[in-house]
Structure 1
Amino acid sequence: MTNKFDIAIFIGRFQPFHNGHLAVVKKALAQAQYILILCGSSNTPRNLKNPFTFTERENIILNAFSPEEQKRIYCATIDDYPYDDATWQLNVQQIVNQTLAQNKLSQYTNIALIGHKKDSSSYYLDLFPSWQTLFVENFDNISATPIRRAYYRLSHQETFPNFPIPNSTLTFLEKFRETEDYQYLKEEQSLIDTEKKAWSTAPYPPIFTTTDALLIHQNAVLLVERAKAPGKGLYAMPGGFLEENETLFHSCLRELQEETGISLNETLWKNFLRKEKIYEQPGRSERGRIITHVFYFHLPDDVLRPTVKGRDDAAKAFWLPLDKLNAKQFHDDHFHIIRELTKR
């Protein structure tokens, strides 16, 4: 059989790899000589949306296929750039070129991007005009989100429900269920379920407003380590929920003082304010619809760096050089916000 394409590229998070993904790869194998599977969100910590590492996902995917099929499948990582499509697009193209070169496949140029337009998140299928597009239908309307949530909600003795997943995924999930990482995720899901239950009788879906302080001094950023779930142990900008009788600016200063101990008068803070920006991406938090207002302050180099100490919801507060930031240590999208607002 002659393949229509040299390379089929399949982009997804595969959290976890399910029968819908399996069907797409099988179609790709029937249409292309080789398959390159790009596992997204590979620069995030374990969280409810992205619980499994790249290596774990790669093993699950490859083990779902025969040894002969595995010889035609390659996996690679791609990072998230939620507020910079151009950089994400360039990164994808670079990863594809690198992976093909490493596996001596650079001579193949007839490339197709395979995927299904399930919702607004599938817009990436239109970002690569130099590649052809191979559209596939949704397989049994399967989504990874309800699989993840049902998995986290399993009681200790409860047997696995009939998840629409291949055996390689089932085997991995059974083993992962015995780990501390699973217990961490299970606790996070339980907390969020409790929060959402409290709002379940509201006449409208709740939309929350938060403020965050991005404070830079001499190329270092002020961070806190979260003391409580969700995101316990992860880094974040000082911030929190807007209270009923305060302005956004006052909310930001209050949270900054409560979590780090920094106290300056309002006039000084206004002098140091460089930018204010709203981040409203619907899926930015697993807790629900949270819109945050970020206030970007830049302290002059000749100002003495404020001493900070973690308080309230912060286990600790500290300054970290911007070139030492690691996306895998950050809660939600805070790393990406910092990267976007401080880029030159």
Structure 2
Amino acid sequence: MNISYSFCTSCGEPLQPISDPGLEQPFRECSSCDFKIWNDPKVVAATVVTHKEKILLVQRIDAPDESLWSLPAGFVNKNENPEQTAIREVSEETGIKCLPIQVLGLNYSNGIILIVYKAELSDKSDIQTPVTAVNELKNTGWHPLEDIPALQFPHDWLYIDRAIRNQGLPLDGSLADPFEQGIA
């Protein structure tokens, strides 16, 4: 499969082909906003963490507009499932420990498969813990649900709304495998 994009889908600037012997697949990168488009799909896990009418959000340094916020998220590593990624990314980016409880949805765009989870704090006292930013982030913090700042990704609004309305699929094993039930 060849990459068919010539221009950045984020800012519209020309994309540069990137080939690295250490990478299995080449990709294209925008020299203006550093947005990457991969030849093979990459899986990203994002997490909606809410507690007491507040939501946990991050500001990324490499975002085209650094004033925008997003859900904690990151690429699934080799030998890691998306749930593990969701837990790891929230912890790495914010210092907060959480447990995914629902799948809020899936999205595919520009070679990225996004899986979004709703999570709850694994330790309710974590809300008091100072939120720590890592080198890829400008800022992290808890925001009132009634005053969510501008978001980098429009689809984040959809998943936040689903989380607030409790419209996800449970991760408690209640969704049995249709093959085990003999219905598929």
Report the TM-score range of the alignment, normalised by the length of the smaller protein: 0.5 to 0.7
Deviation for aligned residue 1:213: 1.8
Matches within 5 A, 1:129-140: none
In the other structure, the counterpart of 1:28 is none
Q: Give the unaligned 5+ runs of structure 2.
A: 1-7, 15-29, 167-184
4+ runs of 1 displaced by more than 6 Å?
none
Matches within 5 A, 1:1-344: 149=12, 152-153=13-14, 187-188=32-33, 191-192=34-35, 195-196=36-37, 199=38, 205-262=39-96, 264=97, 269-270=98-99, 273-280=100-107, 282-283=108-109, 288-299=110-121, 303-304=124-125, 305-307=127-129, 308-326=131-149, 329-332=150-153, 333-343=155-165
Deviation for aligned residue 1:231: 4.8
Alpha carbons of structure 1 residues 229 and 240: separation in structure 2 relative to 1, 3 Å: same
Higher RCO, 1 or 2 (CA under 8 Å, sep at least 6)?
Answer: 2
**Is the radius of gyration larger for structure 1 or structure 2?**
1
- Cα separation, 1, equivalents of 2:73 and 2:142: 15
| Cα RMSD (Å) | 2.9
TM-score between the two structures when normalised by the length of structure 2 = 0.64
SS at match of 1:245: coil
TM-score between the two structures when normalised by the length of structure 1 = 0.37
Percent sequence identity is 23
Q: Does the CA contact (< 8 Å) of 2:105 and 2:159 recur in 1? A: no
Q: Deviations over 1:274-333 (max 9, x none)?
A: 3123322x44xxxx1212222212349x9332421211322111000111024xx11122
Q: Deviations over 1:244-270 (max 9, x none)?
A: 1212122111111111122x4xxxx44
Greater share of strand: 2
Greater share of helix: 1
- Cα separation, 1, equivalents of 2:101 and 2:65: 28
Number of residues of Structure 1 aligned to a counterpart in Structure 2: 141
